[in-house]
């Protein structure tokens, strides 16, 4: 799976998906940077299989590989540059069973039915993001696992909204069923702009923004805290935009001065 690639090549892939998080790495102390990046890359690779790969057999093969690789990590014999970075880091170990739960959660997401509401979507996706947040919290004592998991779910929901056509093509329904019904939109109508579709996207963006705003950012790990402020800004812009899908794409990677201030505050606390 990793071939001859080093961690730097996976960092480029991760930064391409989350350009706003390149800022956060600047605040991570050198001794902890590879660990933070390794964890982020592991999360991205597993999330890729859970959400972005359309073919079930390809996604399942990738998740099976990662299940084996995480078992090798626990045995101290990882092969992938990201898990090698985790293996070399000093600090608390991930509790037993957490990596198994991460893989099981990713598989469950692929089998999940469309969510009825945003609350249902959050609960469904917690099956993956909850265990992964627990894995990340091993290196960040004092952070809120629940808040980190919800922030990640909401960020994922925004990614699907920004890529409506791609998400639908992969068999995912970015808009919960209650909003489809309220705005009288058929699934097939989500691929083209219409007043009803735009209002449905604005309403979901408002819901996401409200939940992100309520999360205690001070209790989030560094990368999750930076992503939360980026996602909150994107959701708020989409909620007030004439074309919310286009607004989400245009706001990708955009950070203001408040993000740098928040990164500095979180970095001083020492949670990565």
Do 191 and 175 touch, CB atoms closer than 8 A? no
**Rounded distance between C-alpha atoms, residue 188 and residue 78, angstroms:** 44
Chain segment 4-25, per-residue pLDDT in tens: 467 878 888 888 888 777 777 7
Residue 233 has pLDDT above 80, yes or no: yes
Query: Rounded mean pLDDT of 197-217?
Result: 96
B/e letters for 61-78, b = 16+ CB within 10 Å, e = fewer, are ebbebbbebbeebeeeeb
Do 155 and 231 touch, CB atoms closer than 8 A? yes
- In this predicted structure, what is the pLDDT of residue 175? 95
Do 11 and 41 touch, CB atoms closer than 8 A? yes
* Tokens representing residue 177 in the block: 């069923």
- In this predicted structure, what is the pLDDT of residue 18? 80
The predicted model scores a pTM of 0.90
- In this predicted structure, what is the pLDDT of residue 251? 79
**Rounded distance between C-alpha atoms, residue 148 and residue 25, angstroms:** 17
Query: Rounded mean pLDDT of 251-259?
Result: 70
- In this predicted structure, what is the pLDDT of residue 3? 43
Percent of the chain with pLDDT over 70: 90
Chain segment 103-119, per-residue pLDDT in tens: 999 999 999 999 999 99
Token look-up 């045995």 returns 75
The superfamily in CATH containing domain 7-269 is Farnesyl Diphosphate Synthase (1.10.600.10)
């Amino acid at each position: 799976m990793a071939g001859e690639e080093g961690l730097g090549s996976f960092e480029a892939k991760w930064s391409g998906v989350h350009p706003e998080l390149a800022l956060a790495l600047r605040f991570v102390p050198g001794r902890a940077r590879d660990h933070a990046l390794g964890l982020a890359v592991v999360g991205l690779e597993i999330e890729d299989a859970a959400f972005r790969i359309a073919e079930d057999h390809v996604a399942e093969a990738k998740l099976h590989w990662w299940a084996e690789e995480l078992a090798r990590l626990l045995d101290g014999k990882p092969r992938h540059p990201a898990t090698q970075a985790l293996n070399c880091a000093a600090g608390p170990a991930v509790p037993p069973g957490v990596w198994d739960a991460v893989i099981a959660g990713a598989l469950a997401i692929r089998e999940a039915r469309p969510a009825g509401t945003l609350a249902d979507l959050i609960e469904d996706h917690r099956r993956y993001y909850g265990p992964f947040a627990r894995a990340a919290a091993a290196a960040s004592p004092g952070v809120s696992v629940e808040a980190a998991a919800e922030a990640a779910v909401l960020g994922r929901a925004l990614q699907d909204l920004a890529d409506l056509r791609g998400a639908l093509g992969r068999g995912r329904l970015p808009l919960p069923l209650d909003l489809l019904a309220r705005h009288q939109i058929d699934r097939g109508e989500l691929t083209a702009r219409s007043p009803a579709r735009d209002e449905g996207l604005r309403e979901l963006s408002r819901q996401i923004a409200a939940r992100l705003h309520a999360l205690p950012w001070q209790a989030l790990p560094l990368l999750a805290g930076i992503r939360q402020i980026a996602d909150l800004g994107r959701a708020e812009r989409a909620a007030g935009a004439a074309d919310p899908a286009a607004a989400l794409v245009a706001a990708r990677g955009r950070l203001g001065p408040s993000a740098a201030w928040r990164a500095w505050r979180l970095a001083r606390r020492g949670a990565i």
